[in-house]
Amino acid sequence: MAHDTTFHDAHSDHEHHAPPTVFGFWVYLMTDCIIFGTLFAVFATFRNQYAGGPTGKELFEISGLAMETALLLVSSITYGFGMIAAHKGAIRSVQLWLAITFLLGLGFVGLEINEFAHLIGEGAGPDRSAFLSAFFTLVSTHGLHVSCGLIWIVTLVVQLSRVTEISERMMNKLTMLSLFWHFLDIVWICVFSFVYLGSMI
């Protein structure tokens, strides 16, 4: 009976001190879903409002989009390898996979910036039509999230370089970034399918 009571107290104490950060981050992701859902709805409303300007079929190139998509999809895979290494306690391997993920994400952002610069240079900036305003707002919001994710990756790599083992708190941080990164991957698939491919048909 004493053993059972001790076990119950220890279990209750563990539950009492368990940080609800991951659950709270899920709540944050739900608010992000609302934001992106709203932006998708706005784009759907204005997707045919060209105001005499260029259409998506005239502007978008599938080759560059395929490269962006490949970089982001592969980055989710490399982050997954990083999480596997984290569960094994292999700090250096986690840092390596995070660094690879960072480079892939940076390549994605670089291609997106280059695309925006090219469109604006051709006179197809966000002020050209309602279609382009909705497009730039949605895609740049996703790009901003990816950029924040890159900063987060660098922060975790630096923090990992200062520890000798992966604590529960560090694992929570890695898990939250994993949720965030995979979420951005899913959003991009929706952007690629609905915004780009849908506008090119």
Q: Which domains does the chain have, with CATH numbers?
A: 22-200 (1.20.120.80)
H helices present in 18-129, as ranges: 21-46, 56-59, 62-87, 91-121
Contact 97, 79 (CB under 8 A): yes
Tokens (6 digits) for 111: 């291609």
Tokens 């480079």 belong to residue: 103
Q: Hey, what amino acid is at 194?
A: F
**Closest of 146, 143, 158 to residue 99, by C-alpha:** 158
pLDDT tens, the chain, 201 aa long: 444 444 344 444 444 444 567 778 888 899 999 999 999 999 999 999 998 889 989 999 888 899 999 999 999 999 999 999 999 999 999 999 999 999 999 999 999 999 999 999 999 999 999 999 999 999 999 999 999 999 999 999 999 999 999 999 999 999 999 999 999 999 999 999 999 999 887
> What pLDDT score does 23 carry?
78
CA dist., res. 95 & res. 13, Å (int):
32
Helices (H) and strands (E) in the chain, counts: 8, 0
